[in-house]
Amino acid sequence: MEKKKEEQERLAELAKEEERKKLIEEQKQREYEEYLKLKAEFTIEEQGCEADQSLDENNVFRRFVNYIKESKVVNIDELAAHFKLRSQAAIDRLHQLLADGIISGVIDDRGKFIYITEDEMKAVAKFIIQRGRVSVDELIEYSNKLIKFEPEIVHDVACQ
């Protein structure tokens, strides 16, 4: 009887081990199929040399900056669509341009970027210095007078 019990336990253990192996194999197969699906989604559309790509990236960069400067007030979603970017990529690029000092401006709570020229920034700073303590409402009112919100024409401004 004990032999039968041991044999049954051994068989049960073997069955569990086989089941574990089967589950692991099925998991590997699912992961491989998922990998193949992802691999199929990637396509190489163009190949070229890095020099051409670098020139193209520089041109896109210059067009991106000029578009912002010309538009003055630009909806971030429209900016992203214009340059075939995701909205988050456009926001990241704006933050990088702001951090690098290439452009200056603010992103408002409605998803718009307002480009502010150096002269406009100086005028606002001068107002604050002259007045001393300024309320937010006064600053908003004066900034709306100083900062032009209409688009202006900028012809291929070189980006530092």
Question: Strand pairing of 112-115 and 105-107?
Answer: antiparallel
Q: What is the DSSP string of 108-137?
A: -TTSEEEE--HHHHHHHHHHHHHHSS--HH
Are 57 and 105 in a shared domain? yes
Q: What is the pLDDT of residue 43?
A: 64
- Name the pTM for this structure: 0.55
Looking at 33-148, which runs of residues are DSSP E strands?
73-75, 105-107, 112-115
- Between 43 and 70, the more confident residue is 70
Arithmetic mean of pLDDT over the chain: 82
Are 76 and 20 in a shared domain? no
Q: What is the pLDDT of residue 152?
A: 59
Are 54 and 70 in a shared domain? yes
Are 116 and 39 in a shared domain? no
Are 83 and 5 in a shared domain? no
Q: Residue 151: what are its φ and ψ, rounded to 5°?
A: -65, 150
Task: Give the range of the structural domain holding residue 115, as residue numbers without chain letter.
Answer: 50-146
Q: How many helices (H) and strands (E) does the chain have?
A: 6, 3
Query: Is 160 part of a structural domain of the chain?
Result: no
Are 34 and 68 in a shared domain? no
Are 55 and 125 in a shared domain? yes
> How large a percentage of the chain has pLDDT more than 70?
82
Query: Is 142 part of a structural domain of the chain?
Result: yes
Are 135 and 115 in a shared domain? yes
CATH number, domain containing residue 94: 1.10.10.10
Are 116 and 37 in a shared domain? no
| pLDDT tens-digit series, residues 70-111 | 888 899 999 999 999 998 999 999 999 999 999 998 888 888
Are 37 and 90 in a shared domain? no
Query: Is 159 part of a structural domain of the chain?
Result: no
